[in-house]
A and B are shown apart, each in its own frame.
Chain A
Amino acid sequence: MQNVTSCWNCGKSVEEVHFCEACRSLQPPATNYYDFFGLEHKLNLDLEDLEKRFYTLSRRLHPDVYFRRSEQERQYSLDASAILNDGYRVLRNPVTRAEYLLAEEGFDSAGRKSQNVPPELLEEVFDLNESLEEFRQGDESVRPQVEAAERHLFEKREEIDRELESKFEEYDRTKSRDILMEIQGLLNKRQYIRNLIEEIEKELVG
């Protein structure tokens, strides 16, 4: 992304991310979220630092600031602010951040097989489906079972989150694609559990 381009306004070469060093005009926004925030492509991020960057960039890029500037800069400001906000949403959440980095590294996000039951959950899911079916039929007596299953899924999810955290660190250290593969597996499992929890919540709330 850091290849040298020239400024749309003054024609001088631009190396900074957002502004031309020579004429200070706003440049077309970087589309990669990490580059946009001026961050290394890492999975573990300091959230306070991220927030600080978000506020600083908001002040510099928001359309409010470009009201009395050229049409071109106003358009860039709108585009840049959208990327800033979209990027902040994606990067501040570890799961979406990891998904973003995986896609960036060429992992196919469409091929994520969240519908495949993780083998260690097979038996549990089978039991849960049975209870849910009874619950749907109006059998209130299985409510405690369903609730217990949900609690167990919460625990599972927390376990995965802890695992993800250590894998993130490992990846940042080694940049190994094998680790990314493991992370993708964990994310798929997590997504599967999330879907299950959503299904249970829907039934419990009725």
Chain B
Amino acid sequence: MAGLLQIDFGKPDRIVGIDLGTTNSLVACMELTHPAVIPGPDGERLVPSVVSITGQGEAVVGNPALKLLVSRPESTVYSVKRLMGRGIGDVQDELKLFPFQIAGGSESVLRIRLGDRTLTPPEISALILRQLKTNAEAYLKEPVKKAVITVPAYFNDAQRQATKDAGRIAGLEVLRLVNEPTAAALAYGLDKRREGIVAVYDLGGGTFDISILKLREGIFEVLATNGDTHLGGDDIDNRLIRIALEDIETEWGRDLSRDGEAVQTLRRAVIQAKERLSFAPFVDLVFEYQGKSYKRRLMRELFDKLVADIVDRTLGPCRACMRDAGLTPEQIDEVVLVGGSTRIPLVRSAVEALFRTKPHTELNPDEVVALGAAIQAGILAGTVEGKLLLDVTPLSLGIETLGGAVEKIVLRNSTIPASATQTFTTAVDGQTNVLIHVVQGERELAKDCRSLARFDLKGIDPLPAGMPRIEVRFLIDANGILNVTARDARTGKEQSVEVKPTYGLTDEQVEAMVNESIDRAEEDFQARQVLDARVEADHILAAVEKAKQNDAYYDLSELEKQQIQDAVNQLLLAYHSSDYLLIRAQIDLVNKATLKLAETMMNQAVRAALKGTKI
């Protein structure tokens, strides 16, 4: 009967929605009709996207890691999202601001040294995802294996692929990558209110997106998107830190910019000051370090001046996005603000001035993306009906032609899934391979675009030059990720395509990381089990020792006493093994051996209690 009851009668899969953010990450799910953010065991809804590796090589994630950022800056990593899908050549400027070190062999994938471990950005993101997964499992009391994860709309193929890899390493099947602004639009449920044109302005910790959508009868059709994957609140923090460091150097005569602990302490103070300035006209920036103190009063007016150019950098993409959508500001009905940085009054006024409409701020800008992800998860699970997202690819897809020029085959802002078919041939007699270089971007030369991958068409029949006709289909799926298939147009035979991603991990590397992560998770699990078993052993051993003082113990036969002592000795032997099952087995034996003793003690206690009670 029990077996029968366990059969799953088509219960929809639990799919969570995850906002994997630069600064904070969240997990949410559908609760009946509404999406809800899932709190962690500490009750916090935001998990800081910070990972620290302890001296024992264990990973700590979230708020505990945030605390370690100050004391162990060299083995703690934050804002790893800025490093996803990037090579070392891309991030030279940013690396100066990060306290951690880059290991060798980082051309196609960064390798970050944290304590005695070396991790790639997808592995670090996977640790954050694993924490969210654990939080969700504890809250929902069921295993969570499937997720929808959000990404900046302007993420390129490599950055998307890296995010998907991170999910896989964390043991999650990533059913869909959803663009953050689109998710936010979904969460706002603006489709219920009216049909119209909505702009979503999303300024987060590290990325900026602008998307313009057309809403009609539950369909969210993205008309155009634009952005900057390296622009966000981090840039404001870094600007303020740099100014403060210079100021401190003048005052104290000491350059602290190479002192990791000092910089991270200052970073905290600066972020607090920035956040308070969104609500107060001025704030005192206080920095205390090694018995010295630095204090500066920062007026909002000055703050606005200091960051004006950063805010301005968001306006160009907004105008380009309107142009691509073929719209003027007057035609935009509503504007939605997403991302913590949109709390800054200067940002709000700049958006209002540009779009000439007061932006929506009803939903918490930190949570709205995760809520949208949960709704998309509900759409996939079939529990949310009538809504459909039609998103676009943010960047044009092209192939390198002779002479290094780019032939665009899928234009930016094309609705996805989108595809293009091209026919390739050989240049010399008997050639059996053709190499295709695929790039993403708007520039005319391949070297100015983002190299995606090289696809090697192999096993072409050796024929005179120009005779083979290989039809290659480039398909951008609903996640915005490129898939390439090829067939011989003469024979109709499928052609093998070997993919060499320019940035990012190969399939084999991801597979190896998945296995290692499972091993590590297993190790972590074992370690925790052993610790738990030892705690329990401590309890029972202490109880036995205490019971030996009890009268009941003296009433036992010598044999019974011997049996108890034997069981205790066996448990002490097992105690230091790393086999938690053995420890638990010995605990059970001690329990059994002391059963009679416990009963006698219980009876005595009851009698004593009765005696003490005057009727």
Contacts and interface: CB of A to CB of B under 8 A. Distances in A.
Interface of A: 55, 58-59, 62-64, 67-68, 78-79, 81-83, 85-86, 88-89
Interface stretch (B18-26, B82-90, B413-421): B413-421
B41 to A, nearest CB: 31
Contacts of B380: 64, 67
B415 A78 contact: no
Contacts of B420: 86
Given A58-B219, A64-B379, A88 B477 contact: no
Nearest to A68: B382
Contacts of B216: 55
Contacts of B417: 63, 78, 81-82, 85
A59 B388 CA distance: 7
17 contacts: A58-B388, A62-B388, A62-B478, A63-B478, A64-B389, A68-B381, A78-B417, A78-B475, A81-B417, A81-B478, A82-B418, A82-B419, A82-B475, A85-B414, A85-B417, A86-B418, A86-B420
A58 B419 contact: no
Contacts, number: 53
A81 B414 CA distance: 12
Contacts of A63: 417, 477-478
Contact of A78 (B388, B389, B477): B477
A63 B417 CA distance: 9
B119 interface: no
Given A78-B475, A82-B475, A67 B175 contact: yes
B171 to A, nearest CB: 20
B217 interface: yes
Interface in B415-454: 415-420
A89 B414 contact: yes
A81 B381 CA distance: 19
Contacts of B217: 55
B138 interface: no
Interface string B476-508: 011000000000000000000000000000000
B598 interface: no
B540 interface: no
A108 to B, nearest CB: 14
A89 B12 CA distance: 35
Contacts of B219: 55, 58-59
Interface of B: 12, 175-176, 216-217, 219, 379-382, 388-390, 414-420, 475, 477-478
A109 to B, nearest CB: 13
Contacts of B379: 64
Nearest to B483: A78
Contacts of B475: 78-79, 82
Contacts of B389: 64
Contacts of A89: 414-415, 418
Per CB-CB distance, the 8 closest pairs between chain A and chain B, nearest first, are A82-B419, A82-B417, A85-B415, A81-B417, A67-B380, A63-B478, A85-B418, A64-B379
Contacts of B390: 58, 62, 85
B206 to A, nearest CB: 28
A81 B380 CA distance: 16
A58 B222 CA distance: 13
Contacts of A88: 415
Nearest to A31: B421
Given A62-B390, A67-B382, 4 more contacts: A64-B176, A67-B381, A78-B475, A86-B418
A85 B388 contact: no
A71 to B, nearest CB: 14
Nearest to A51: B216
A58 B175 CA distance: 19
A45 to B, nearest CB: 18
B135 to A, nearest CB: 24
A103 to B, nearest CB: 13
Contacts of A85: 390, 414-418
A62 B389 CA distance: 9
A142 to B, nearest CB: 25
A194 to B, nearest CB: 15
A81 B418 CA distance: 8
Nearest to A88: B415
A82 B419 CA distance: 6
Contacts of A55: 216-217, 219
A83 B417 CA distance: 8
Contacts of A59: 219, 388
Nearest to A81: B417
Contacts of B416: 85
A64 B418 contact: no
Contacts of B477: 63, 78
A88 B390 CA distance: 13
Contacts of B382: 67-68
Nearest to B218: A59
Contacts of A68: 12, 381-382
B388 A64 contact: yes
Contacts of B414: 85-86, 89
A79 B176 CA distance: 17
Nearest to B13: A68
A83 B419 CA distance: 7
The interface centre, meaning the residue of A59, A67, A79, A88 with most chain B CB atoms within 10 A of its CB, is A67
B243 to A, nearest CB: 34
Given A58-B219, A58-B390, A59-B388, A64 B415 contact: no
A30 to B, nearest CB: 14
